[in-house]
Chain A
Amino acid sequence: MRRLSVLALLMVLFGGGPSAADEPRTLTVLTWGGAYEQSQRAAMFAPFTQATGIEIETVRYNGGIEALRDHLAQPGAPEWDVVDMIRADARAACAQGLLEPFDPDILADSPDGVAPEEDFIDGALGDCAIVQLVFATVIAYNDDAFPGEKPRTVADFFDTERFPGKRALRKAPVGMLEWALRSYGVPRSQLYDLLSTERGMRLAFRRLDSIRDDIIWWRGGAEPVEQLTSGHAAMATGFNGRFFHAQVIEGEPISIIWDGALLEYNSWAILKGTADKDIAEKFIRFATGAERLGDMANRISYGPARKSAQRRVGLHVTTGVPMRAHMPTTDRHMATAIRKDDRWYSQTEALRQRRFEAWLALGEKQSAKADQAKSEGPRND
């Protein structure tokens, strides 16, 4: 009897009590779809369900914090539990009270017993989120679009004379400003200082203006790959793992320009007020373990955020492609990478959005005027 109660206590402690086993619970995870979500399903979600019996449901998320704000504004308890979000967004969401505070004690030690504070990369532990992987937003191009000279630099993205063709850009003021300014030769270390000035912003948008007619927009991470492979775009910005998947696993004619790769961090966070905080924490502990992170990195080329997992990066699980060379964190890629300044991002959220929308509206006005001029043209003749 006594032994049984100890067992029962243990089961309650570890969250796998009889009641939980009786009524199946599900965890709702917001994540990014496509090859990335597939990799997560194989490396994290399925093993978690297998280990705990808890099902994972995913909801499509394209970044930003409006989606979270809108969801929390709805009456009743939130339906979403865990969010896979970019660190800058997590900081902004945390500051606005959209996330639960993060308890670092839930994290597991490395397999050889190194404490998480040591094992995770610097700056991984946030107030509301834990960084799990490093990814890069990069520029890629369709090899078929440039049979001769290949584009190599960020500046080439804006050079539609030498490298004609449509440019697929994310419809959000993320990355585009840095690249625009970088194309003027501004050193990587000075980008955010210059973007903090009115003049810097103006220069960046002026550069974007010069390719305005060639831009096609994307929102979800899978779209730029499709735009490139379908031939709709000659160059596209996008997440490096998606391009890796299309290029290496699916054999599409896509090449990545690593110059100016924007390094960012994905982190796990728990939505404010969720009823399943206990299993959300259990999931984060599981998904950030060295083994799961290492497995993830051998499926899609995103760098794990803990050292014990980095040592597990080897060959791709199905094709056997060596993964290290494709990681955004290899020395060769780091040498020209732009480290995204999260602090700047969270401080300039409203400003960037406002400037970007104004710029879009200006373009619409201009094209409307051009259309009007065209339609008025014949009448004058």
Chain B
Amino acid sequence: MLRLESAYRIVIMSLVGLTVGAAASLASLAFIDALFWLNNALLVSAYSRIQYEAQPALLAAATILVPTVGGLIVGQIVSRWVAERRGLGPPDAILAVQTRESPPSFKSGVASTLAALVSLGCGASVGQYGPLVYLGTLIGGLAQRLNLMVRDLQSVAIACGVAAAISTAFNAPIAGLVFAHEVILRHYSLRAFAPVTVAAATGYVIANVILQRPPLFLVEFAGVEHGHEFVLFAVQGVLAAYLAAGFMGLIAFAGRMAQRLRLPAPVRPGLAGLVLGLVALQLPEVLGVGKETLRFATIEGAFTVDELAVLVAAKLAVTAMCVGFGFVGGVFSPALLIGVMAGALFGMVWPLILPLAHSGIVPYAICGMMAVTSPVIGAPLTTILIVFELTRNYDLTIAAMVAVVFSNLVAYRIFGRSLFDVQLAARGFDLSLGRDKAILGVRSVAENVSQDYIAMRADESLGALTARLNAVGRSEAVVIGADGVFQGHIRLQDVVDEPPETPLGAVARKDELVFRETTTLWEAMDRIRDFVGEAVPLVDARGRVMGVVPEGAVIQGYMEAVHDLRREENAAA
């Protein structure tokens, strides 16, 4: 019987991997195609702009108007159709998977994806991979509706969608697989691993074999020629960490600025679009995903040191503004672009200071790209694998590995694991101490409430209480007012010396531990450490007693949650 059950599970999980993978992959391709079409139609891409090079006034008008109007449209879409009133992205996927709660509604997801398409299509300085990850989440989330009677289906299906989206977008199936585990699932169980692998491979097959998409990023590179350069890669990693932390800090700062502006939220992206357009008149490189700039940064002599420094600063600023002011999109592609330019800059500058041999700017550009990106998305393994899969160059991968590791170490200290985790922490979901705390941090202790307790009114006498407690063989009672509001807590051993006619209100202790509706299992566990009674009263927002939570129930809730996690993490099939 057990065997049949696990066979069913294996078949269902594999089919989920296959269908979610195929759907997410096709949806991602459609998204990318629509994006390129918009970029060409709206004169955002260099390829489309060149045909109007003889009409600079028209180009200038498009440069300013397209992001501005696009921003206003994005503002409308988000405020009307996205219930959360913001763009959805990887943090929402992480939250849904980690807490096993439902992701935002399908309608919100579709609207957010549309808003991302408009944002990117109009050249906003945001990334395409965040929306693609959410697109994968959206499609994976549909599997839960099928009622397939399989445990952990939602988490695994979402991970499948995300893996397929990344695998398709980057033409990098291994990176897609690892990204889904490293960022979304945060554990490596075989049960999840198998279907996610199927999904990532499906995405790769569809993008690469059936539709024959060109690889996203090819680099020709002979190899790292000098041993001392690895020390420089490590140094570069440390510098990149500061840049990444600065980038993330700037995004948070821009978000706070936007809140402070006396401007309705739907208008904010329009303002950001206007500023972006004005900057782009001087620096067209800041527009959009910046594929061309990404390439130029790996070409010796394409930029001067000054140009790179200005572009890094400009891209940092406009990206923070676009994200903070409500354009919908990710931070992955801008981080890649900022990183590759900063890396090229590093590769050009250090030989001016240190008279040592070097192997050109390519390895520095690639290392910089990954060293800035990986702390932002909190995925060192994924970024290392992306380099490996995109360049198929072992030397370059090892170089990037060194830079990525140092950058993650440092950035973790100064900012946190990733922008996603920091954003989630701001929403009250803290993953910094691992999944246990995070999940216990969202489970409410109210789930474990018990109605088996003695409640007495404050004007009743101590004698009545003693009689009642003796009758049921208990030693504690909760004292409430006429309106049901909590007045205190009485333990028999504390009142043995009081006269029996004393009203309960006079001897009830109010300073004892009380749980509120919002108290999480994590807080409860922390607070019952010094608790000596049988059960903790639970009160609602207005102070009325809802019941009590026995000490044993808190521990049991904790054990169940942790056990659930361990079981999920070690599930085989």
Binding site for B on A (CB under 8 A): 184-187, 189-190, 192-194, 196-197, 199-200, 203, 206, 344, 347-348, 350-351
Contacts of B219 in A (CB 8 A): 185
B46 and A197 contact, CB distance less than 8 A: yes
Cα distance A200–B291 when bound, in Å?
Answer: 13
Contacts of B49 in A (CB 8 A): 196
Q: Is B218 an interface residue (CB 8 A)?
A: yes
When distances are taken between beta carbons in the complex, the residues of chain A under 8 Å from B300 are 184
Residue among B46, B215, B291, B303 with most chain A CB within 10 A: B46
| Interface bracket on B | 20 to 34
Cβ–Cβ contact B46 & A350, under 8 A: no
Chain A residues within an 8 Å CB radius of B303: 199
A186-B51 Cα distance, complex, nearest whole Å = 22
Q: Which 7 A-B pairs have the closest CB atoms?
A: A347-B51, A196-B46, A185-B220, A196-B50, A189-B214, A187-B218, A197-B46
Query: Which B residues are in CB contact (< 8 Å) with A200?
Result: 46, 292, 296
- Asked if B220 contacts A193 (CB within 8 A), the reply is no
B305 touches A (CB below 8 Å): no
Q: Which of B55-93 contact A (CB under 8 A)?
A: none
Contact B47 A344 (CB under 8 A): yes
Contacts known (A193-B45, A203-B301, A206-B301); A186 close to B295, Cβ less than 8 A: yes
| A189-B46 Cα distance, complex, nearest whole Å | 15
Tell me the bound Cα distance from A189 to B216 in angstroms: 10
Q: Taking the nearest CB of chain A, how far is it from the CB of B368, in angstroms?
A: 18
Known: A185-B220, A203-B302, A351-B50. Contact between A194 and B295, CB under 8 A? yes
**Chain B residues near A189 (CB-CB < 8 A):** 214
- Which residues does chain B contribute within 8 Å of A186, judged by CB atoms? 295, 299
- Majority secondary structure of chain B interface residues (helix, strand, loop or mixed): loop
Query: Measured between alpha carbons, how far is A45 from B285 in the docked complex, in Å?
Result: 53
**Residues from chain B with Cβ under 8 Å of A185 in the complex:** 219-220, 298-299
15 A–B contacts, CB within 8 A, in A order = A185-B299, A187-B215, A190-B295, A193-B46, A193-B47, A193-B291, A194-B46, A196-B46, A197-B46, A200-B292, A203-B296, A203-B301, A347-B50, A347-B51, A348-B50
A127–B302 Cα distance when bound, in Å, is 39
Q: Within 8 Å of chain A (Cβ to Cβ): is B54? A: yes
Question: Which secondary structure characterizes the binding site on chain A?
Answer: helix
A35 to chain B, nearest CB (A): 35
Residue ID in chain A nearest B219 by CB atoms: A185
Instruction: For the A-B complex with A184-B302, A194-B295 known, give 14 more contacts whose Cβ atoms are closer than 8 Å.
Output: A184-B300, A185-B219, A190-B291, A194-B296, A196-B50, A197-B284, A197-B292, A197-B296, A199-B302, A199-B303, A203-B296, A206-B301, A347-B50, A348-B51
Q: Of the candidates B50, B214, B296, which one forms a contact with A199 in the assembled complex, judged by CB atoms under 8 Å apart?
A: B296
Known: A193-B292, A194-B292. A184 touches B299 (CB 8 A): yes
Instruction: Assess whether B511 is interfacial by the CB under 8 Å rule.
Output: no
Cβ of A44 to closest chain B Cβ, rounded Å: 35
Give the chain B neighbours of A197 by CB distance below 8 A. 46, 50, 284, 292, 296
Which residues of chain A are near B53, meaning CB under 8 Å? 348, 351
Question: With a CB–CB cut-off of 8 A, which chain A residues contact B220?
Answer: 185
Q: Using Cβ atoms and an 8 Å threshold, which residues of chain B touch A187?
A: 214-215, 218
Known pairs A186-B295, A186-B299, A194-B292; A350 contacts B47 (CB<8 A):
no
Cα A103 to Cα B459 in complex, Å, equals 103
Q: Is the CB of A203 within 8 A of B299?
A: yes
Distance in Å: Cβ of B74 to nearest Cβ of chain A:
25
Determine the distance from Cα of A184 to Cα of B360 in the docked complex, in whole angstroms: 12
Residues in A neighbouring B51, C-beta threshold 8 A = 347-348
> B207-248: which residues lie under 8 A (CB-CB) from chain A?
214-215, 218-220
**Closest B residue by C-beta to A347:** B51
Q: Give the distance in Å from the alpha carbon of A185 to the alpha carbon of B54 in the complex.
A: 29
Least CB distance, A95 to chain B, in whole angstroms: 12
- B54 near A350: Cβ-Cβ < 8 Å: yes
B304 CB → nearest A CB, Å: 11
A189–B299 CA distance with the chains assembled, in angstroms: 16
Contact with A along B291-330 (1 / 0, CB 8 A): 1100110111111000000000000000000000000000
Cα separation A194 to B299 with both chains bound (whole Å): 12
Mark interface residues in B326-369 (1 if CB within 8 Å of A CB, else 0): 00000000000000000000000000000000000000000000
Q: Which residues of A contact B302 (CB under 8 A)?
A: 184, 199, 203
Inside 8 A of A351's CB, which chain B residues have their CB? 50, 53-54
Write the nearest CB–CB distance from B347 to chain A, whole angstroms: 15
Instruction: Produce 1/0 per residue, B191-221, CB < 8 A to A.
Output: 0000000000000000000000011001110
Q: Which residue of B lies closest to A197 (CB)?
A: B46
Report A271 CB to chain B, min CB distance, Å.
26
Q: How far is the CB of A156 from chain B (nearest CB, A)?
A: 14
Considering the chains assembled together, what is the distance between the CA atoms of A355 and B49 in angstroms? 17
**Cβ–Cβ < 8 Å partners of B214 in chain A:** 187, 189
Find residues 521-557 in chain B having any chain A CB closer than 8 Å to their own CB: none
| A344: chain B residues within 8 A (beta carbon) | 47, 50
Q: How far is the CA of A10 from the CA of B284 in the complex (A)?
A: 64
Give the Cβ gap from A374 to chain B, nearest Cβ, in Å: 29
Distance in angstroms between the alpha carbons of A194 and B218 in the assembled complex: 14
Report the nearest A residue to B294, measured CB to CB: A190
B260-293 vs A: 1/0 string, CB under 8 Å?
A: 0000000000000000000000001000000110
In this complex, the member of A184, A192, A206 whose beta carbon has the largest number of chain B beta carbons within 10 angstroms is A184
Of B219, B301, B303, which is in contact with the most chain A CB atoms at under 10 Å from its CB? B301
C-alpha gap A347/B214 in the complex (Å): 24
Residue of B nearest to A207 (CB): B301
CA distance A117 to B12 in the complex (A): 45
Question: Measured between alpha carbons, how far is A199 from B50 in the docked complex, in Å?
Answer: 12
Query: Looking at A185, A194, A197, A347, which has the most chain B CB atoms within 10 Å of its CB?
Result: A197
For B217, give the chain A residue with the smallest CB separation.
A187
- Cβ–Cβ < 8 Å partners of B215 in chain A: 187
- Point out the residues of chain B lying under 8 angstroms from A348, CB to CB: 50-51, 53
Residues of A within 8 A of B47 (CB): 192-193, 196, 344
- Give chain A nearest CB distance to B566 CB in angstroms: 47
Q: Beta-carbon contacts of B35-50 to A below 8 Å, as 1s and 0s?
A: 0000000000111011
Q: Which residues of B contact A190 (CB under 8 A)?
A: 291-292, 295
Give the complex CA separation of A199 and B292 in angstroms.
Answer: 10
Tell me the smallest distance from the CB of B51 to a CB of chain A, in Å.
4
A203 contacts across to B, CB distance below 8 A: 296, 299, 301-302
Q: How far is the CA of A344 from the CA of B302 in the complex (A)?
A: 22
Contacts of A192 on B, CB cut-off 8 Å?
47
With CB as the reference atom, state the residue of chain A lying closest to B213: A189
Separation of A186 and B218 alpha carbons in the complex (Å): 8
A224 to chain B minimum Cβ distance, whole angstroms, is 28
Residue of A nearest to B50 (CB): A196
A42–B53 Cα distance when bound, in Å, is: 45
Q: CA of A347 to CA of B47 in the docked complex: distance in angstroms? A: 10
Closest Cβ of chain A to B213, distance in Å, is: 10
Cβ of B393 to closest chain A Cβ, rounded Å: 12
Name which of B53, B219, B291 has the most chain A CB atoms within 10 A of its CB: B53
Please name all residues of chain B whose beta carbon is closer than 8 Å to the beta carbon of A347 when the two chains form the complex: 50-51
Taking CB atoms, residues of chain A closer than 8 Å to B284 are 197
Kindly state the separation between the CA atoms of A187 and B219 in the bound complex, as whole angstroms.
8
B454 → A minimal CB distance (Å): 77
Closest chain A residue, CB of each to CB of B298: A185
Cα A184 to Cα B302 in complex, Å, equals 10
> Which of B45, B50, B292 gathers most chain A CB within 10 Å?
B50
**Least distance between A355 CB and chain B CB atoms (Å):** 10
Expressed in whole angstroms, the Cα–Cα distance for A184 and B218 within the complex equals 12
Nearest chain-A residue to B49 (Cβ)? A196
Docked complex Cα distance between A200 and B53 (Å): 14
Q: Give per-residue flags for B9-24: 1 if the beta carbon is below 8 A from chain A beta carbons, else 0.
A: 0000000000000000
